[in-house]
Structure 1
Amino acid sequence: MNSKSPPLYADRRINTRAGNTCKPDQNLLQVPREDSISGPSRSKSREWGGRLPVALVFPEERSLALSTLGWQAVYMQLEEEGTFHVQRFFWDRRQGRAVNQDSDKTLSDFPLICFSLNFEGDYLNLVQSLQAEGIEVYSGNREKWPLVMAGGPVTFINPFPVMPSLDFIYVGESEDTFICIAGALKNCFLQGKDRHKTLETIAGLPGIYVSGRTSRAHRQVAESDSRRLETPAHSAFVSGQSVFRDSFLVEINRGCPHGCRFCAAGFVYRPPRTADINKLKELISGIRPRKVGLVGTALTDWPDLQEFLQWLKAQKIKFSLSSMRSDGLTSSFLEFLRRSGTRSITLAVEGISRDLRTAVNKRFDHKKFFQAVEEISRLQFNTLKLYFILGLPGESGKDFQELENFLEEMQQARFKGMGNRKKGIGLIQISASMFVPKPWTPLQWAAMISRQEFESGCRRFKKLCSRHKAVKFTSENPFQARIQGLLARGDEKVHELLLLAAEHQGSWKKALANWSRDMERYTDRQIPLEENLPWDRLDIGVKKEYLKREWRKYWQGRLTSPCPDTECSNCLRCGMQA
């Protein structure tokens, strides 16, 4: 780290330790650039004695880290405990390594290295981070500390492609249980236990998976006996360099009751839970941020959403929303959003036809959607963003024909909302992604389409959009989507590909050209229902037989009702129990 380099960032850390009123820590605010990569650090002068030094690594760039709540929740939990010395590392693309934000110490200086894995693409950065610091990339070849672990969403979906580099993973939500795991690790380290004895000690603890020592890991769920999210995650840091600029992010709900058959969040975060509006008001009142970003799935399902937003406005606090469902966008709610300064609305349509939307269990009310488009146009929102998925199983030319009618009806609703005026929605921005089969969803057995098929579908989609004024079409990179599909359904044999990609400076194409295995086996085939899957070694609560039933209902075009507003012990439909 070059100490002569100019500071790059100036962030504010939110102190939420017990006894604090949740106001920004004034001592930290006196350091003008406390969060800079190369500037002054609050952590250099602190002693490590009597505490377990922990490197908390977010293997993506800093702007994404500051917009992601999971690792920030873990950071606050460890900091508040007081018996851990936590320092943050973010991926630096230019340097090709994880960079310490708090001191000049490197990963190899820490006995415990914790990676927060949010996406399959993080696997490569994890491997490169270890290599850059001279840490043995295979866990089985390490004779001494450090221990390298991972947590985060993909660790309870399918972590096995990167598992050879990890000593263990923590499967599940961090509240409650994780701090006990960390305490056990701290005791082992301070007692002088070697890495092998330490792994033996923690192998049987809740949520822990150690290769060769654990047969199956059971996901840990916070407050599993309640539909209330008692401890919603929120920002530990507010930054102008965050993707959500200068926003204090707060979790409104966790999980989703609708169970769309392609979406992992609707299955691995069961039971779905919502935050208590009074607790959120108390949190925001203590911090008094300039802007709040609401994080969650299907925000309009939260019955207190409008009341909370009206309260924020009364407090003169700006807000932003993630994707919403069109059936929750009433005229009065849209008018409130427009008066409050919201300029863009994002809606997920998913399948390109009614049949495909029904097949994926997307309860999409066409009438309410077009009514919402009409109102959005009447109120002159700048942008309407729509998300679609191409390549769902069974997609055909018939579905594209229906898409043509859908776009035409959407434009009619837009013009109807304009009335006699010349201005309505400034831009309808349509984005298409490639379907990627995700573990622990009913579509985990499905095949992906080829790159050529996706590109052909995108050309057809783009041509349909070009017939309509102010409709813009974009699509994702199909090669990267298929790499994601490979990693999503991969096993430990894919680890060799990660090493090859690291050897070729992150080039997946070169890595695939030198890989001894066949990518298509992971991506292009429909997996038989009786085949053992790598992620069967995890237990996320949802039973495999339930997923199989939902897979069959996909092909039958049958809907499944959302999770009821009752305790899981009163339902048991998917196998989840309180």
Structure 2
Amino acid sequence: MAWKTDKFQKRSGESEIGTIRKQWKGRIKVALIYPNTYHVGMSNLGFQTVYYLLNKIEHVVCERAFLPEDSRPGANRTITIESGSPVAAFDIIAFSVSFENDFPNLLTIIEKAGLPLRSSNRENSHPLVIAVGVAFFSNPEPVAPFIDCFLIGEAEAILPRFFDAALPDLLNQNKISCLKTLARNVPGTYVPAFYNVTYNSDGTLRAFEPTADVPVKIERRYLKDLAQVSTCSAILTKDTTFDSTFLIEVGRGCPHGCRFCSTGFVYRPPRFRPFSLIEKCLKQGASMTDEIGLVGAAVSDLPDINKLCDQRFEKDVRISFSSLRADAISPELLSVLKKSKVKTATIAPDAGSERMRKVINKGITEEDILHAAENLVAEGIPNLKLYFMVGLPTETMDDVEAIVTLCKQIKHRFLKSSRARKRIGEITVSLHSFVPKPFTPFQWVAMDDMHSLKAKIKKIKHGLKRVANVRVHADIPRWAYIQALLSRGDRKVSQILSLANKNRGNWPKTLKASPINPDFYVLRERSEDELLPWDFIDHGINKSFLKLEYKKAMQGKTSPPCPMESCNICGVCKENSKDKE
């Protein structure tokens, strides 16, 4: 092929270990795109997993592309890392998206590829544009007009079946015929063009109905048994957040049921890999690098995690964890952290007061948090990172002040242990604005307004301003507002995205000029009987279960963790009797 790579593409490809290059002839050509920079995309294990899975399919060749570094109009055409080919030259453009705030970049990339933005305006000669990723497990509707079809589910459970059906002969058909065949024969395939959305006079949804012979609801596909496949880094490169760290996914979902967290609901049932499989991944990683990262929403809940202490490598290998639950830091786990010379450990109290932790069903006490901080420092881990949220449902200024108080208490315990070791580290407090997410018990609540969020952040910063060795970082409430808009919006939000694209990402200008009021999606409390934009997706969770959890939250009542065995509590295990793979 005559296409030439630019300097960045060439430099990136040359610095990688594990790049896959396949011949194009006779294969379906897929341009897999992460809608952010190379640095961000290659730090994402889900993106790497899709790349690896697609290239395992014999009749598929998959190459990667990213958001061009220069976002100016006409700058940096979108080309692939492996061959430097324009993405428009591929049969399929596949977006892998984990975060809603990357939705605007989808439009930027489609435009830079020289394609019409809207699916309805693209011809049969254009590549098929599909989208995968956890962001679409929850709500694909804000970007529905721009995508030909979404694959709703975990990559291992849906990609092989999709590409068994998406053979070259099918892709050469009329686009509508091709999409109908896929929608009818591949469970989890959602084609927005085959569904009609109508609205009530007040702007809420009236109906969401198929217009063709396709499923009324889209079942999220998932892998029942994670022992079937390992999920770890396909490519190593220094140009990532983790700098040549070999990432291993230990499990999916979380049994604890924190009411704000979509991961604990859209990945139900929670599943862990057997340690024997993780052990194989550890050895694979150790043969490639000396940095290994264990990732998952509940890493410290991994059965047999204490066996990490027994691992022996031919060289010094450092093992790190994405985050730790304060009530699950065992002596054995501390030993692994110490042996790995971990410098910073992360725990997430999420709320400062005991009352708020009950509202969100966090399931840890103040003493759990203080004890964890004390033990981590005592074992030679000098720095702590603490995650908190502001703007949670029912939160008062007393609850906000409790974050300051708890941080000071942690600092006291931290200092006590640090002095014993004659080394004082640093505490980093990370503040995040709460965003209500689909398929959680808080999907009906209104988001806190930006003025309130800024006031709460200011109060915490002021309260910790003079506390030595404590730094406070906070997100920007405006970006949280946009995330809420993109998380909770319906198809009409696509008009706001189009306007933002026209304004080159100038969101203040966009929100001010939009004929659609974004507050309707962000700051409005939903009624429990309202048809929600994402209700057509079937995760197996009973809506009555989410409503009950919402009511318990408002009453300050907690719920036990998921038993991770067949039960009838949320509905997923009942659905589990169906074939989900």
Partner of 1:455: 454
| TM superposition shift of 1:313 | 5.5
1:460-516 Cα deviation digits (max 9, x unpaired): 111221242211111001111100011100111011111111111111112112210
| TM superposition shift of 1:298 | 2.1
1:412 aligns with 2:392: no
Partner of 2:384: 384
1:291-325 Cα deviation digits (max 9, x unpaired): 21111112111132231254156763222211110
1:573 aligns with 2:570: yes
Cα distance change of structure 1 residues 218 and 317 upon mapping to structure 2, 3 Å threshold: same
Partner of 1:11: 15
Partner of 1:439: 438
Alpha-carbon distance between aligned partners in 2 of 1:71 and 1:173, rounded to the nearest angstrom? 12
| TM superposition shift of 1:421 | 5.8
Pick one of 185, 191, 210 that aligns with 2:166.
185
Query: Is this contact kept in 2: 1:161–1:495, CA < 8 A?
Result: yes
Partner of 2:116: 136
Partner of 1:58: 34
| TM superposition shift of 1:54 | 1.0
Larger displacement relative to structure 2 (336-345 or 164-173): 336-345
Query: Is this contact kept in 2: 1:497–1:511, CA < 8 A?
Result: yes
Alpha-carbon distance between aligned partners in 2 of 1:565 and 1:476, rounded to the nearest angstrom? 34
Alpha-carbon distance between aligned partners in 2 of 1:391 and 1:313, rounded to the nearest angstrom? 45
Partner of 2:526: 527
Query: Is this contact kept in 2: 1:378–1:419, CA < 8 A?
Result: no
Cα distance change of structure 1 residues 422 and 315 upon mapping to structure 2, 3 Å threshold: closer
Larger displacement relative to structure 2 (369-378 or 545-554): 369-378
SS of 1:8 mapped into structure 2: helix
| TM superposition shift of 1:535 | 0.2
Pick one of 83, 89, 101 that aligns with 1:121.
101
Query: Is this contact kept in 2: 1:59–1:98, CA < 8 A?
Result: no
Query: Is this contact kept in 1: 2:318–2:342, CA < 8 A?
Result: no
- After TM superposition, the structure 1 = structure 2 runs for residues 103-502 of structure 1, keeping only pairs within 5 Å, are 103-144=83-124, 145-189=126-170, 192-204=172-184, 205-211=186-192, 212=194, 213=212, 214=214, 215-223=216-224, 226=225, 228-286=226-284, 288-290=287-289, 291-308=291-308, 310-311=310-311, 316-418=316-418, 422-424=422-424, 426-502=425-501
Partner of 1:84: 60
Alignment length (residue pairs):
543
Partner of 1:31: none
| TM superposition shift of 1:333 | 3.1
Partner of 2:199: none
Query: Is this contact kept in 1: 2:318–2:339, CA < 8 A?
Result: no
Cα distance change of structure 1 residues 414 and 199 upon mapping to structure 2, 3 Å threshold: same
1:57-94 Cα deviation digits (max 9, x unpaired): 11111112212122222222221121012111111231
| TM superposition shift of 1:530 | 0.9
Alpha-carbon distance between aligned partners in 2 of 1:526 and 1:314, rounded to the nearest angstrom? 57
Query: Is this contact kept in 2: 1:171–1:209, CA < 8 A?
Result: yes
Partner of 2:513: 514
Alpha-carbon distance between aligned partners in 2 of 1:266 and 1:532, rounded to the nearest angstrom? 22
1:401-436 Cα deviation digits (max 9, x unpaired): 433432332232123324556533x11100111000
| TM superposition shift of 1:331 | 4.3
Query: Is this contact kept in 2: 1:14–1:237, CA < 8 A?
Result: yes
Larger displacement relative to structure 2 (495-504 or 274-283): 274-283
Cα distance change of structure 1 residues 341 and 81 upon mapping to structure 2, 3 Å threshold: same
Larger displacement relative to structure 2 (310-319 or 395-404): 310-319
1:133-188 Cα deviation digits (max 9, x unpaired): 22111111223142111010011100100000011100001114321111211244
Q: Percent same amino acid among aligned pairs?
A: 32
| TM-score where L is the length of structure 2 | 0.89
| TM superposition shift of 1:232 | 3.1
Query: Is this contact kept in 1: 2:481–2:522, CA < 8 A?
Result: yes
Alpha-carbon distance between aligned partners in 2 of 1:58 and 1:4, rounded to the nearest angstrom? 18
Query: Is this contact kept in 2: 1:90–1:98, CA < 8 A?
Result: yes
Alpha-carbon distance between aligned partners in 2 of 1:260 and 1:83, rounded to the nearest angstrom? 42
Gaps of 5+ in 2: 195-211, 577-581
Alpha-carbon distance between aligned partners in 2 of 1:468 and 1:88, rounded to the nearest angstrom? 46
| TM superposition shift of 1:273 | 0.7
Alpha-carbon distance between aligned partners in 2 of 1:309 and 1:504, rounded to the nearest angstrom? 54
1:380-411 Cα deviation digits (max 9, x unpaired): 42310000000001111221343343233223
Larger displacement relative to structure 2 (233-242 or 88-97): 88-97
| Equivalent residue letter for 1:11 | S
Alpha-carbon distance between aligned partners in 2 of 1:412 and 1:4, rounded to the nearest angstrom? 53
Gaps of 5+ in 1: 16-27, 29-41
Cα distance change of structure 1 residues 330 and 177 upon mapping to structure 2, 3 Å threshold: closer
RMSD: 2.1
Alpha-carbon distance between aligned partners in 1 of 2:348 and 2:450, rounded to the nearest angstrom? 23
SS of 2:527 mapped into structure 1: coil
Partner of 1:18: none
SS of 2:428 mapped into structure 1: strand
Cα distance change of structure 1 residues 310 and 505 upon mapping to structure 2, 3 Å threshold: farther
Pick one of 70, 87, 112 that aligns with 2:46.
70
Cα distance change of structure 1 residues 116 and 404 upon mapping to structure 2, 3 Å threshold: closer
SS of 2:294 mapped into structure 1: strand
SS of 1:114 mapped into structure 2: strand
| Equivalent residue letter for 1:5 | K
| TM superposition shift of 1:258 | 0.5
1:266-287 Cα deviation digits (max 9, x unpaired): 0000111111111222233345
Partner of 1:544: 543
SS of 2:489 mapped into structure 1: coil
Cα distance change of structure 1 residues 548 and 4 upon mapping to structure 2, 3 Å threshold: closer
| TM superposition shift of 1:4 | 6.7
Larger displacement relative to structure 2 (376-385 or 294-303): 376-385
| Equivalent residue letter for 1:381 | I
Alpha-carbon distance between aligned partners in 2 of 1:403 and 1:75, rounded to the nearest angstrom? 41
Alpha-carbon distance between aligned partners in 2 of 1:281 and 1:380, rounded to the nearest angstrom? 26
Alpha-carbon distance between aligned partners in 2 of 1:169 and 1:389, rounded to the nearest angstrom? 31
SS of 2:155 mapped into structure 1: coil
| Equivalent residue letter for 2:519 | E
| TM-score where L is the length of structure 1 | 0.89
| Equivalent residue letter for 1:77 | L
Query: Is this contact kept in 2: 1:73–1:236, CA < 8 A?
Result: yes
1:231-281 Cα deviation digits (max 9, x unpaired): 231111001111111111110111000010000000000111111111222
